[in-house]
Amino acid sequence: MPLNDSYIDRKILSVAFVYRNDVRFRVHEMEMKPTPGSVSGRRSKIQGYSEKSKRRYREYLRNTAHLWSHEIQLSYAQDYPNSGPTVKKHRKLFIESLQREYKGINWTWRLGFQQERGKKGLGYAPHFHFMTDRFVNKDWIADTWARIVGSADINHRKVSTHVDKIRNTDGIINYMVNYMAKDAETNVPEGFEDVGRFWGMKRGIVECEEYRKILPARLQARATRLFKRWYKAETRSWAEERVRKGGRYFKWRGGVNKGFMAIGGRRVFDALMKLLV
């Protein structure tokens, strides 16, 4: 069935967010108005580590992988807090101390829940995993964390912190994102109140350029098809290898008022931009 002129001539806003490695596209119909009640200035209360949050964190980590050189772990003693705001305060104080001691340091953190030592089943204590772009002295970490959480336990000071060099960047990113995939570690423990965010990253370290273009629908669709073909050709070997290992090939989620992520698509996007200049 042929498309009528009113369809093919409607105006489409194409937005490309170009990261260091990936490209994320959003396509919006200019005449379409937001559905009443679909936009809210208030975020809903965080109940757990959602798939959407996990997907966004993986996206940011993929495009900052060149930064990370060391990992840090911070944990509590047996009398750990069951309050999200308290844990958040401790995390904030540690980051402020870290930035004062190591000027210009880049960091990202992720909250998790670990089983209490010597116990089985439920009863998980909060702890933090950090990645940084430089070495941080372990004694300084231990002293700073003990002071922040108010711990006078010598044994806690010895075992509550850990720092190590990252030897496998892809592996640690996978760990940071998927570590809490198991139910016991994804779910907020019973009695833990107002968990808040599960991860964070220093502002401004994710490199991103934004390109906006208003085009008739037929031209927008043509540009998307062109990019898709190039991208598929460039990633064919990667896709075949993934399928052989039992994985799934990347799915395109295009369409009006939708978008898609081209993993590793920066090189293809740059090449196409040169052709269009």
Report domain extents, the chain.
5-42+209-276, 64-201
Could you tell me how many residues make up the chain? Answer: 277
Check residue 35 and give its pLDDT: 43
pLDDT of 59 > 80? The answer is yes
According to DSSP, the β-strands at 23-29 and 11-19 are antiparallel
**Model confidence pLDDT, tens digit, residues 211-235:** 888 878 777 777 777 777 777 776 6
d(CA 254, CA 256): 7
**Model confidence pLDDT, tens digit, residues 73-111:** 998 887 888 888 999 999 999 999 999 999 999 999 998
- The pair of structure tokens assigned to 169 is 């960047």
pLDDT of 130 > 70? The answer is yes
Check residue 103 and give its pLDDT: 96
Confidence of residue 34 (pLDDT cuts 50, 70, 90): very low
- Angle among Cα 161, 62, 14 to the nearest 5 degrees reads 140
Mean pLDDT, rounded, of the chain? 76
What percent of the chain clears pLDDT 90, i.e. is strictly above it? Answer: 25
- Tell me if the domain spanning 64-201 has CATH number 3.40.50.10140: no
d(CA 111, CA 127): 6
Confidence of residue 204 (pLDDT cuts 50, 70, 90): very high
The distance from CA 234 to its chain's CA centroid, rounded to whole angstroms, is 25
What is each CA distance from 62 to 13, 20, 68, 192, 273, in whole angstroms? 26, 9, 11, 31, 22
Confidence of residue 173 (pLDDT cuts 50, 70, 90): confident
Q: Under 8 Å CB-to-CB from 36, ≥6 apart: which residues? A: none
What percent of the chain clears pLDDT 70, i.e. is strictly above it? Answer: 72
